[in-house]
Chain A
Amino acid sequence: MGPSSDWMLSLAKGSLHALKSAIPFAGAGTTFIVSLCLFTLSITQPTHLSFVRTLVLDTSLSFERTLKELFEFAPTLHRDFLDMRRAAATHRQLEDENARLKGWQDQARILARENTLLRQQLNLSMLTTLPHLTARVIGQQRGEAHNRLLLAAGYDQGVAEEIPVVSGRILVGHIAKCGNSSAMVVTTKDPSVRIPVVGEHSGKRSVVTGTGGARLSLVHAQDTKTFTPGEFLLTTTEGAFYPPDYIVGRVVAQKDGTHALMCALEEPMPPYVSILKHAEASHG
């Protein structure tokens, strides 16, 4: 390497060092120079830079507006927080209620299973699940001569006359008259009905009729002592009008030694009843 190469190397090193030391000054220097140029231009040609001023002012105004909008949410913050706390409390309450209902559902399942098992052990016939239509009770006619219900369902909902009406396992009566959107039910308390029944445990058969009150009476002057006290009177397949194994009444022993037949349909009447659909064809 000659002296010229050394000179060039030292020059390059010096330039690199100067550049490295000048880098921190580059930002400030550039800002200074550009701003100075801008200042000169804004003094000599102010109209040429009016668009910069407009742009900056617009940006500033929009920024100010955005800040104001952001700031306006502050008064609603407390209200939103209270709403959120209320919603959380409701959520917790519903969760508790849900857990409680779930417990009841489990209990009901256990009881239903136990009930099925007991019925099988006692050799009782099982109720079949029949297709039905649920209807709301919208009126009642009570008296010694009549005991009837008015339902908010009629031909339009698929209801027809002479169909049995039940409430759970209890026989309510049958449809006597039917309109387009309402139907009249003659209940088991009505003196005009005749219901073939069988004692749940004694197996004795009879026909009962309503008295307009809480009691039932036997039609063919049989002795009520035929039945065992405490047993249910169930519908039978004889006559084929009512479905079997629905409860009509209960035999109750009285103080004077006689037995009274109490109607299973008690006051107040259920708000909703089930209209069994299958019996229409069998009755016809």
Chain B
Amino acid sequence: MGEQSVLIRSCVYYALCALLFTLFFVADAIGAAFLLPLIFITILINPQHTPWVGIFCISLFQDTLSNIPLGVHGSLYGLYGLFLMPQRKYLFKRAFFFTWVIFAITTLAFLGVREGFLMGVMHLSKHPVNFVTECSFLALMFPLLFRFLTWVHVTLSARHES
């Protein structure tokens, strides 16, 4: 029993480290705006629980690592949140596929605005393949994150109520 629990704990620890390692370098490599699904889902579930301070800090990381002026990602995330808040009543408790499509459209719009801003205003060119890769990556990652965050929300709510 002791051996098994140690093995399970070690495997979980290893899996978490591997996940963090992979996510960190994947996000760094393709420059993915991986906060988009997080913002979308938390606003959908409970807007008051959206971690805006954490989002702001991570946006600073993204700006620094992407070597673009500080505040670009933060202001776009804020704008994304302000845009999603009024739409919540149309998106709440709909079919998952509908939510997924809406997320893909908003992600496409967000990335389009960002690329347009960087290329048009800042004159910073970015390869279009990267844009497509980033958009596909975020759209494909959405179901996984949606399930995970919904589970976390339900678990925390049940614990809070008990």
Contact A32 B6 (CB under 8 A): no
Contact A56 B71 (CB under 8 A): no
Which residues of B are found within 8 Å of A53, using beta-carbon distances?
A: 64, 70
Q: What is the predominant secondary structure among interface residues of chain B facing chain A?
A: helix
Which residues of A are found within 8 Å of B141, using beta-carbon distances?
A: none
Q: Mark B68-87, 1 if CB is under 8 A from A, else 0.
A: 01111111011111100100
Distance in angstroms between the alpha carbons of A59 and B60 in the assembled complex: 12
Among B21, B24, B65, B78, the most chain A Cβ lie within 10 Å of the Cβ of B78
Shortest CB–CB separation between residue B67 and chain A, in angstroms?
A: 9
Which residues of A are found within 8 Å of B72, using beta-carbon distances?
A: 35, 39
Contact A27 B50 (CB under 8 A): yes
Shortest CB–CB separation between residue A147 and chain B, in angstroms?
A: 58
- Stretch from A69-77, A153-161, A211-219 at the B interface: A69-77
Size category, A interface? 35 or more
Q: Which of B10, B21, B55, B71 contacts A39 (CB 8 A)?
A: B71
- Stretch from B12-20, B95-103, B105-113, B148-156 at the A interface: B12-20
Q: A39-B70, A39-B75, A43-B69 known; A28 and B81 CB under 8 Å?
A: yes
The answer to whether the Cβ of A145 comes within 8 Å of any Cβ in the partner chain is: no
User: Number of B residues whose C-beta is below 8 Å from A?
Assistant: 36
Among B14, B71, B77, the most chain A Cβ lie within 10 Å of the Cβ of B71
Distance in angstroms between the alpha carbons of A36 and B79 in the assembled complex: 10
Contact A37 B71 (CB under 8 A): yes
Contact B74 A81 (CB under 8 A): no
Q: A38-B71, A39-B69, A52-B70 known; A57 and B64 CB under 8 Å?
A: yes
> Residues on B close to A: CB < 8 A?
2-3, 6-7, 10, 14, 17-18, 20-21, 24, 47-48, 50, 52, 55-56, 59-61, 64-65, 69-75, 77-82, 85
Supplied contacts A28-B82, A77-B10, 6 more A-B pairs, CB within 8 Å? A25-B82, A27-B50, A31-B55, A42-B71, A67-B17, A70-B21
